[in-house]
A = this chain, B = another copy of it.
Amino acid sequence: MPRKPKIKPPTPQSRRVGYAIVGLGELSVEELIPAARTSKESYVAALVTSELDKGVEFARALGLKDSDVYTYDDFEHLSGRDDVEAVYIVLPNSLHREFITRAAKMGKHIVSEKPLGMNAKDAQKIVDVCKKAGVLLMTAYRCQYSPHHWAARDAVQGGTLGRVKLLDSMHVQVEDDPTVWRLQQELAGGGPLPDVGIYSLNTLRFVTGQEPEWVFATLHQPKKDRRFREVEESVSFMLGFPEGVTANCHTSYGAFKTDTLRVMGDAGTLLMDPAFTYEGLKLSIETKEGTMTPSFPAYDQFGLEFDHFAQRVRDGKTPWTPGEEAVQDHVIMDAIYESAKTGKVVKLKSVTKKDAFRGTKPTLPSEKS
Find out whether the CB atom of A57 lies under 8 angstroms from the CB atom of B250.
no
- Give the residues in chain B near A344, CB-CB below 8 Å: 344-345
Contact of A286 among B10, B243, B256 (CB under 8 A): B256
Please report which residues of chain A, range 25-74, place their CB below 8 angstroms from some CB of chain B when the two chains form the complex: 29-31, 34, 37, 54, 57-58, 60-64
Please report which residues of chain A, range 235-256, place their CB below 8 angstroms from some CB of chain B when the two chains form the complex: 236, 238, 240, 243-246, 248-250, 252, 254-256
Find out whether the CB atom of A166 lies under 8 angstroms from the CB atom of B290.
no
A209 within 8 A of B: no
- Choose, from A94-102, A128-136, A168-176, A305-313, the stretch at the interface: A168-176
Find out whether the CB atom of A170 lies under 8 angstroms from the CB atom of B168.
yes
| Interchain nearest-CB distance for A80 vs B (Å) | 23
A279 within 8 A of B: yes
A139 within 8 A of B: no
Find out whether the CB atom of A166 lies under 8 angstroms from the CB atom of B255.
yes
With A269-B256, A279-B4, A289-B294 as contacts: A246 and B220 at CB distance below 8 Å: yes
Q: How many residues of A sit at the interface, in one of the four size bands? A: 35 or more
Find out whether the CB atom of A252 lies under 8 angstroms from the CB atom of B280.
no
Contact of A289 among B233, B267, B295 (CB under 8 A): B295
**How far is it, in angstroms, between the C-alpha of A294 and the C-alpha of B286 when the chains are bound?**
9
**How far is it, in angstroms, between the C-alpha of A246 and the C-alpha of B274 when the chains are bound?**
21
- Give the residues in chain B near A265, CB-CB below 8 Å: 255-256
A277 within 8 A of B: yes
**How far is it, in angstroms, between the C-alpha of A238 and the C-alpha of B162 when the chains are bound?**
26
Find out whether the CB atom of B168 lies under 8 angstroms from the CB atom of A250.
yes
Find out whether the CB atom of A58 lies under 8 angstroms from the CB atom of B10.
yes
- 8 new A-B contacts at CB < 8 Å, known A10-B60, A291-B295: A6-B30, A34-B34, A166-B252, A216-B238, A236-B246, A256-B264, A256-B268, A256-B287
Task: Name 29 interchain pairs, CB-CB below 8 A, sorted by A.
Answer: A1-B277, A3-B278, A4-B279, A10-B57, A10-B58, A10-B60, A62-B63, A63-B64, A165-B234, A165-B252, A165-B254, A166-B250, A166-B255, A168-B170, A168-B250, A172-B264, A218-B246, A221-B244, A222-B244, A234-B244, A234-B246, A255-B265, A256-B269, A258-B262, A286-B295, A288-B295, A289-B294, A291-B292, A292-B293
Binding site for B on A (CB under 8 A): 1-4, 6-7, 9-10, 29-31, 34, 37, 54, 57-58, 60-64, 161-162, 165-166, 168, 170, 172, 174, 216, 218, 220-222, 233-234, 236, 238, 240, 243-246, 248-250, 252, 254-258, 262, 264-269, 274, 277-280, 286-295, 343-345
